[in-house]
Structure 1
């Protein structure tokens, strides 16, 4: 069964926000990846040092099965944070088939920003805004799955 997690977007203060959330919820970050840590994304090498220091992905486990995740908006790449796009619902699936089923069903009548496909970070991933204006991210983590089960 799929797992739902909130994914928050910030204007350059993701790290501050997540340190605050960590102080309230406790625990340790599961992942903290800066934009400058990524080498395989076209155009990232042209970003300013300030943009490279921004958070590409951060995750903080909360409770037994929930994860709060976030990222910084990179305005130099044409991204903007406006009311309504500062969060997404991230769904982690148990298979590619489940990912495709949820993606195709939820994106019907909406706007696909990134079709389902393999990513440089090792996931099968896609994102879209549904016909009601809600942003979704669907992901199947292929890195933690034996090759014969992918």
Structure 2
């Protein structure tokens, strides 16, 4: 299992990826834009929004950070200073469900566990202490191998 800091930005993720890559001697940088996600009729996107980061990652010195942009109207609110969450990445679906349900107890489910384009099981929640968590099942070793 990997536990990863996940940083949210209003629209500066691309700039932040470059900064962290350089500052931390990062490698194996991966970027997925909002335009690469399946279209959602409830959230039409213009070209500028499609260019924003849906998910990015930078590996460095035995660790990883992940980043994304939070455009207006996507069900999340960007708040400077509180723009992070903890991401659990695991291969075991049963444990992922257990952790998700345990963390959600007394809290709020933001996105229930479900299959998404990048994962067979993904969900997001805010625990009873106000900490946002993502639980993500990974099918490959990308999140678990570092230089």
Q: Return the TM-score normalized by structure 2.
A: 0.86
Structure 1: stretches of 5+ with no match in the other structure: 146-150
Q: Greater strand share, 1 or 2?
A: 2
Aligned partners of 1:30, 1:44: CA distance in 2, in Å?
Answer: 30
Q: Report which of the two has the higher share of helix.
A: 1
CA distance in 1, matches of 2:7, 2:48: 20
| Alpha-carbon distance in 1 for matches of 2:47, 2:29 | 24
Is the Cα–Cα contact under 8 Å of residues 89 and 137 in structure 2 kept in the other structure? yes
Determine the structure 2 residue equivalent to 1:17.
16
Q: Is the 8 A contact 1:35 1:44 kept in 2?
A: no
Confirm whether residue 68 of structure 1 aligns to residue 65 of structure 2. Answer: yes
Structure 2 residue aligned with 1:98: 95
| CA displacement, residues 38-70 of structure 1 (integer Å, 9 cap, x when unaligned) | 2x2413882111111111110001222x21000
Check conservation: 1:85, 1:135, Cα contact below 8 A: no
Provide the rounded CA distance (Å) in 2 between the counterparts of 1:141 and 1:51. 26
> Unpaired segments of 5 or more residues in structure 2?
142-147
The TM-score, its normalising length taken from structure 1, stands at 0.85
RMSD after superposition: 1.9
CA deviation map 1:6-38 (0-9, x unaligned) = 000001011111111111111324311111122
Aligned length: 141
Q: Is the 8 A contact 2:4 2:87 kept in 1?
A: yes
